[in-house]
């Protein structure tokens, strides 16, 4: 059979990796797909294309030329961001072209619209590379766990924030210092907001939750909190108590509703996710039939993400002649069977909590704090009070609570912060056992 002609939008890190993998592994890919896959048109400059060995590829500086090329059967969108990516993808779909993308923001924010258009025009949109780089987590949940009722998932799905927390823990370094180093190493962007404030992870969690629970994509309902307020002291105190702090994306079914949240989380050191360090990603999934399964690997990078992009290309090529009604649904569940389960407000979510405050070293202070927690029906699991430093009259006080609704904790914190014996804000970090 004739090779399938594809157009690449972008020859940057991931686009370049995709071109490299397609050429280097061309024979093996053709054996798996049943046909060759050839990049015949790409959007970038000629010099970059030649450096990647694409001397025979038509190059256009305008991505619209690639999308409009009548010979192209599959458009691979690797330019990132919302615009013009959305318009390019929608144009490709309306022309009857299949789409492969690694753009998590595009899918999280506009996936419902994109998938509806794809169904209307009978084409596929594949997006494995949009979540966790080279880890095939979307296929694992959508197909490998199709016989399971998924109860919850929790993931380290942003390598930058995981690297920062790892370095802070291993070397007792400040957040700002490690972040600067991450930027110098290329792990963090010049503007690291999307990574360290949890927006990137929230995009990915939106996608994972949809394919796990069969709910529409709802990025605007994800509670998002970053790691910029985490201190070396918090990490050290957590370690003394047998925990590690990880920046997690958590999705869980709860009494007919769904939790969607991204935030720093204390997890037990024995937990599988606790040992995932550096820039690596991992997703832990709990399902009723199989139990817990862990998916681990590089969450970014040229060839790891290209691995996912090329896998999507192989899947698309395999099904080019298949009846559109018999393809795997984009979000795992049939479009008319998506659930209208409500996404919980964060104040309704239940969790255990790590609370750190600075309190006066004098009698009655702990009793006042305990009374406030008791009035809010919050049970204390453990209390750690540090010795005052020389010349200091206040001490760090750490409390671990049992599981309780977030609303109660918020009310208790507001009351504790009004005590004259407590200085500054109370630090709150949620705790999960992931059992």
pLDDT band at 255 (very low <50, low <70, confident <90, very high): confident
Residue-level pLDDT at 325: 67
pLDDT in tens, 305-334: 999 999 999 999 998 866 676 677 777 677
Distances (CA, A) of 137 to 49, 157, 291, 383, 424: 30, 11, 16, 39, 42
Residue-level pLDDT at 338: 85
Helix (H, G, I), strand (E, B) or coil at 395: strand
Tokens matching residue 26: 């061309």
Backbone angles phi, psi at 174, to 5 degrees: -80, 150
**Crossing angle between the packed helical segments 406-416 and 365-375, to the nearest 10 degrees:** 150
Euclidean distance between CA atoms 250 and 155, whole angstroms:
7
Which residues are identified as catalytic? 204
> If you average pLDDT over residues 131-139, what whole number do you get?
95
pLDDT in tens, 1-35: 899 999 999 999 999 999 999 999 999 999 999 99
Which has more confidence, 38 or 327? 38
> If you average pLDDT over residues 170-178, what whole number do you get?
96
Helix (H, G, I), strand (E, B) or coil at 187: coil
Cβ–Cβ < 8 Å for 141, 290: no
**Crossing angle between the packed helical segments 175-185 and 159-171, to the nearest 10 degrees:** 130
Q: Is the pLDDT of residue 261 over 70?
A: yes
pLDDT in tens, 178-219: 999 999 988 888 899 999 999 999 999 999 999 999 999 999
Cβ–Cβ < 8 Å for 217, 260: no
Distances (CA, A) of 223 to 231, 263, 344: 21, 8, 9
Cβ–Cβ < 8 Å for 395, 358: yes
Residue ranges and CATH numbers for the domains of the chain are 4-134+302-337 (3.40.50.720), 142-298 (3.30.360.10), 350-431 (3.30.70.260)
pLDDT band at 45 (very low <50, low <70, confident <90, very high): confident
**Crossing angle between the packed helical segments 85-94 and 104-121, to the nearest 10 degrees:** 20
Tokens matching residue 432: 């999960």
Which has more confidence, 393 or 147? 147
* Helix residue ranges per DSSP H, 154-278: 159-171, 175-185, 193-196, 199-213, 232-240
Cβ–Cβ < 8 Å for 22, 35: no
> If you average pLDDT over residues 47-60, what whole number do you get?
93
**In 214-361, where do the E strands start and end?**
223-224, 243-254, 257-268, 280-287, 291-298, 342-343, 350-360
Beta bridge partners of 293: 285
Cβ–Cβ < 8 Å for 253, 228: no
Residues 6+ apart with CB under 8 A from 66: 7, 8, 9, 41, 42, 43, 60, 72, 75
Beta bridge partners of 286: 152, 292
Question: In terms of C-beta distances under 8 Å and separation of at least 24 residues, what long-range contacts does 113-122 make, across chains too?
Answer: 114/86, 114/89, 114/90, 115/330, 115/331, 115/335, 116/335, 117/90, 117/93, 118/93, 118/330, 119/324, 119/335, 121/93, 121/94, 121/96, 122/96, 122/324
Residues 6+ apart with CB under 8 A from 201: 155, 157, 158, 161, 224, 247, 249, 262
Tokens matching residue 282: 């991992």
Percent of the chain with pLDDT over 90: 87
Kindly report the number of other CB atoms within 10 A of residue 284's CB atom: 22
Residue-level pLDDT at 322: 66
Residue-level pLDDT at 330: 76
pLDDT in tens, 339-374: 889 999 999 999 999 999 999 988 899 999 999 999
Where do we find the tokens 């039939």? 289
Tokens matching residue 373: 């927690």
Residue-level pLDDT at 157: 98
């Amino acid at each position: 059979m004739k090779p399938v002609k594809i157009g690449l939008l972008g020859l940057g890190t991931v686009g370049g990796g995709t071109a490299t993998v397609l050429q280097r592994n061309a024979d093996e890919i053709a054996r798996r797909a049943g046909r060759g896959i050839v990049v015949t048109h790409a959007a970038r400059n000629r010099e970059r294309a030649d450096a990647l060995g694409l001397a025979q590829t038509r190059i256009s500086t305008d991505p619209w030329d690639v999308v409009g090329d009548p010979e192209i059967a599959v458009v691979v969108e690797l330019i990132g961001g919302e615009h013009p990516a959305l318009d390019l993808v929608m144009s490709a779909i309306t022309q009857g072209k299949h789409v492969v993308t690694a753009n998590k923001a595009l899918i999280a924010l506009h996936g419902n619209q994109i998938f509806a258009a794809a169904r209307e025009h009978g084409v596929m949109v594949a997006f494995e590379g949009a979540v966790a780089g080279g880890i095939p987590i979307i296929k694992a949940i959508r197909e490998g766990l199709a016989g399971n009722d998924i109860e919850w998932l929790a993931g380290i799905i942003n390598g930058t924030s995981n690297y920062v927390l790892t370095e802070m823990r291993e070397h007792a370094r400040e957040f700002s210092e490690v972040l600067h180093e991450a930027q110098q190493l290329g792990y963090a962007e010049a503007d690291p907001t999307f990574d360290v404030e949890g927006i990137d992870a929230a995009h990915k969690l939106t996608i994972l939750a949809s394919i796990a629970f069969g709910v529409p994509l709802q990025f605007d309902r994800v509670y998002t909190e970053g790691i910029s307020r985490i201190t070396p002291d918090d990490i050290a105190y957590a370690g003394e108590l047998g925990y590690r702090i990880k920046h997690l994306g958590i999705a869980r079914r709860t009494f007919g509703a769904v939790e969607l949240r991204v935030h720093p989380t204390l997890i037990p050191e024995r937990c599988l996710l606790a040992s995932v360090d550096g820039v690596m990603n991992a997703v832990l999934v709990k399902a009723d039939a199989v139990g817990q399964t862990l998916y681990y690997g590089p969450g970014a990078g040229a060839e790891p993400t290209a691995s996912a992009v090329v896998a999507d290309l192989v899947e698309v090529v395999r099904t080019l002649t298949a009846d559109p009604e018999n393809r795997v649904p984009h979000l795992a569940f049939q479009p008319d069977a998506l659930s209208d389960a409500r996404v919980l407000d964060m104040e309704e979510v239940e969790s255990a909590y790590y609370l750190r405050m600075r309190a006066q070293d004098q009698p009655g202070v702990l009793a006042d704090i305990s009374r406030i927690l008791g009035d809010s029906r919050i049970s204390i699991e453990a209390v750690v009070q540090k010795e005052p430093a020389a010349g200091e009259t206040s001490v760090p006080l750490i409390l671990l609570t049992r599981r309780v609704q977030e609303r109660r904790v918020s009310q208790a914190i507001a009351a504790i912060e009004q005590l004259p014996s407590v200085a500054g804000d109370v630090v709150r970090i949620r705790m999960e056992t992931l059992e």
